[in-house]
Structure 1
Amino acid sequence: MKKISSLIGVILLCSVITAQNVFQNIPNRKTTTLNGKWHYIVDVYESGYYNYRYEPRDQKEHPTNEAIFLNLKPNDRSDLHEYDFDYSPTMYVPGDWNSQDEKLFYYEGTVWYRKTFDYHKNKETNRVFLNFGAANYRTDVYMNGKKLGFHEGGFTPFYFEVTNLLKEKDNYVVVKVDNKRKKEAVPTLNTDWWNYGGITRDVDLIETESTFIADYSVQLQKSNANLIEGFINLDGESKANQQVTLSIPELKINQTVTTDDNGWVSFNIKAKKINYWSPENPKLYAVKLTYNNQTLDDKIGFRTIEVKGSDILINNKSVFLRGISIHEENPLDGRRAYCKEDAELLLGWAKEMGCNFVRLAHYPHNEHMLRLADEMGIMVWEENPVYWTIPFDNHDTYLLAEKQLKEVMIRDKNRASVIIWSMANETPRSDVRLEFLKNLAATAREIDNTRLISAALEKNRVKGKENTLGIDDPFMDYVDIISFNEYVGWYDGLPDKCKRVHWEIDYSKPVFISEFGGGALQGLHGDRLDRWSEEYQEDLYIKNIEMLRQIPQLRGMSPWILTDFRSPRRMRPVIQDGWNRKGLISEKGTKKKAFFVLQEYYKEMMEKWGK
Structure 2
Amino acid sequence: MSQWKPAGDKIKTEWGEKLDPENVWSEYPRPIIKRDNWLNLNGLWDFQMTEQGAARPMEYDRKILVPFPVESSLSGIMEQVGSGREVWYRRNFNIQPYWEGERILLNFGAVDWRTEVWINGIKIGSHEGGYDPFSFEITPFLKEGEQEVVVKVWDPTDEGPQPRGKQVRNPRGIWYTPVTGIWQTVWIEPVPAAYVDNLKIYPDIDHEVIKVQPFIKHVRYGDVFKVEIIEDGKVVGEAMAATGQDATVSLPNAHLWTPEDPYLYDMRISVISNSKVIDRIDSYVAMRKISRKKDERGIWRIQLNNKDIFQFGTLDQGWWPDGLYTAPSDEALKYDIEQTKKYGFNMIRKHVKVEPARWYMHCDQVGMLVWQDMPSGDRTHSWQNRNYYEGTELFRTPESERIFRNEWRAIMDYLQPYPSIVTWVPFNEGWGQFKTEYIAAFTKEYDPDRLVNAASGGNHFRVGDMLDLHNYPQPEMYMYDAERATVLGEYGGIGLVIDGHLWNADRNWGYIQYKTSKEATDKYVEYADMLAKMIEMGFSAAIYTQTTDVEMEVNGLMTYDRKVNKLNVERVRKANQSVIEVLSE
TM-score range for the pair, normalised by the shorter chain length: 0.7 to 0.9
1:590 and 2:564 matched:
yes
One-letter amino acid matched to 2:549: D
Could you say which residue in structure 1 is the equivalent of 2:263? Answer: 283
**Distance (Å, rounded) in 2 between the aligned partners of 1:338 and 1:148:** 30
What secondary structure, in the 3-state scheme, does the structure 1 residue paired with 2:534 have?
A: coil
**Distance (Å, rounded) in 2 between the aligned partners of 1:512 and 1:168:** 59
Give 1:427 shift: 0.6
1:394 and 2:397 matched:
yes
One-letter amino acid matched to 1:550: M
Alignment CA distance shift 1:26-1:38 (3 Å) = farther
Residue range with higher mean Cα deviation, 147-156 or 543-552: 543-552
Give 1:40 shift: 0.5
Could you say which residue in structure 1 is the equivalent of 2:138? Answer: 162
| More RCO (CA 8 Å, sep 6+) | 2
Q: Does structure 2 conserve the Cα–Cα contact (< 8 Å) formed by 1:114 and 1:173?
A: yes
Alignment CA distance shift 1:103-1:521 (3 Å) = farther
1:213 and 2:187 matched:
no
What secondary structure, in the 3-state scheme, does the structure 2 residue paired with 1:265 have?
A: coil
Residue range with higher mean Cα deviation, 178-187 or 34-43: 178-187
Could you say which residue in structure 2 is the equivalent of 1:232? Answer: 214
**Distance (Å, rounded) in 2 between the aligned partners of 1:91 and 1:123:** 28
Cα displacement string for residues 43-69 of structure 1 (whole angstroms, at most 9, x for unaligned residues): 2x23xx33xxxxxxxxxxxxxxx532x
Could you say which residue in structure 2 is the equivalent of 1:561? Answer: 546
Runs of 4+ with deviation above 6 angstroms: none
**Distance (Å, rounded) in 2 between the aligned partners of 1:387 and 1:313:** 31
**Distance (Å, rounded) in 2 between the aligned partners of 1:529 and 1:266:** 49
What secondary structure, in the 3-state scheme, does the structure 1 residue paired with 2:495 have?
A: coil
Give 1:26 shift: 4.6
**Distance (Å, rounded) in 2 between the aligned partners of 1:304 and 1:200:** 33
**Distance (Å, rounded) in 1 between the aligned partners of 2:292 and 2:477:** 25
1:323 and 2:303 matched:
no
Cα displacement string for residues 260-315 of structure 1 (whole angstroms, at most 9, x for unaligned residues): xxxx1123333311111111211111111112322211011111110012211111
Alignment CA distance shift 1:126-1:511 (3 Å) = same
Cα displacement string for residues 336-361 of structure 1 (whole angstroms, at most 9, x for unaligned residues): 32642122111111111111111111
Give 1:38 shift: 0.5
One-letter amino acid matched to 1:479: G
**Distance (Å, rounded) in 2 between the aligned partners of 1:38 and 1:111:** 12
Could you say which residue in structure 2 is the equivalent of 1:242? Answer: 223
TM-score, normalization: structure 1? 0.76
**Among 245, 249, 253, which residue is 1:265 paired with?**
245
**Distance (Å, rounded) in 1 between the aligned partners of 2:138 and 2:348:** 37
Q: Does structure 1 conserve the Cα–Cα contact (< 8 Å) formed by 2:495 and 2:512?
A: no
**Distance (Å, rounded) in 2 between the aligned partners of 1:24 and 1:529:** 38
Give 1:438 shift: 2.6
**Distance (Å, rounded) in 2 between the aligned partners of 1:529 and 1:359:** 19
Could you say which residue in structure 2 is the equivalent of 1:19? Answer: none
Residue range with higher mean Cα deviation, 88-97 or 306-315: 88-97
Identity percentage over the alignment?
22
One-letter amino acid matched to 1:590: V
Max radius of gyration: which structure? 1
Could you say which residue in structure 1 is the equivalent of 2:88? Answer: 112
Gaps of 5+ in 1: 1-21, 51-65, 73-83, 460-472, 490-497, 567-578
One-letter amino acid matched to 1:243: V
Greater helix content: 1
**Distance (Å, rounded) in 1 between the aligned partners of 2:281 and 2:315:** 33
Give 1:519 shift: 5.3
What secondary structure, in the 3-state scheme, does the structure 2 residue paired with 1:28 have?
A: coil
Q: Does structure 2 conserve the Cα–Cα contact (< 8 Å) formed by 1:380 and 1:419?
A: yes
Alignment of 1:36-47 (within 5 A): 36-43=43-50, 45-46=51-52
Q: Does structure 2 conserve the Cα–Cα contact (< 8 Å) formed by 1:534 and 1:593?
A: no
Q: Does structure 2 conserve the Cα–Cα contact (< 8 Å) formed by 1:438 and 1:478?
A: yes
Alignment CA distance shift 1:28-1:102 (3 Å) = closer
Could you say which residue in structure 1 is the equivalent of 2:442? Answer: 443
Could you say which residue in structure 2 is the equivalent of 1:196? Answer: 179
Alignment CA distance shift 1:195-1:201 (3 Å) = same
Give 1:610 shift: 5.1
**Distance (Å, rounded) in 1 between the aligned partners of 2:140 and 2:152:** 22
Q: Does structure 2 conserve the Cα–Cα contact (< 8 Å) formed by 1:541 and 1:597?
A: no
Alignment CA distance shift 1:601-1:225 (3 Å) = farther
TM-score, normalization: structure 2? 0.79
Could you say which residue in structure 2 is the equivalent of 1:356? Answer: 346
Alignment CA distance shift 1:458-1:200 (3 Å) = same
Alignment of 1:450-599 (within 5 A): 450-458=449-457, 473-475=459-461, 477-488=462-473, 503-518=478-493, 520-523=495-498, 531=513, 533-534=515-516, 537-538=520-521, 541-548=524-531, 549-550=533-534, 552-566=537-551, 579-588=552-561, 589-593=563-567, 598-599=572-573
Gaps of 5+ in 2: 1-28, 169-173, 295-299, 381-393, 500-509
Give 1:116 shift: 0.7
**Among 97, 120, 144, which residue is 1:144 paired with?**
120
**Among 272, 276, 284, which residue is 1:299 paired with?**
284
What secondary structure, in the 3-state scheme, does the structure 1 residue paired with 2:559 have?
A: coil
**Distance (Å, rounded) in 2 between the aligned partners of 1:163 and 1:343:** 33
Give the CA RMSD over aligned residues: 3.0
One-letter amino acid matched to 1:67: R
Q: Does structure 2 conserve the Cα–Cα contact (< 8 Å) formed by 1:387 and 1:425?
A: no
**Distance (Å, rounded) in 2 between the aligned partners of 1:102 and 1:448:** 40
Could you say which residue in structure 2 is the equivalent of 1:153? Answer: 129
Alignment CA distance shift 1:372-1:169 (3 Å) = same
**Distance (Å, rounded) in 1 between the aligned partners of 2:477 and 2:216:** 56
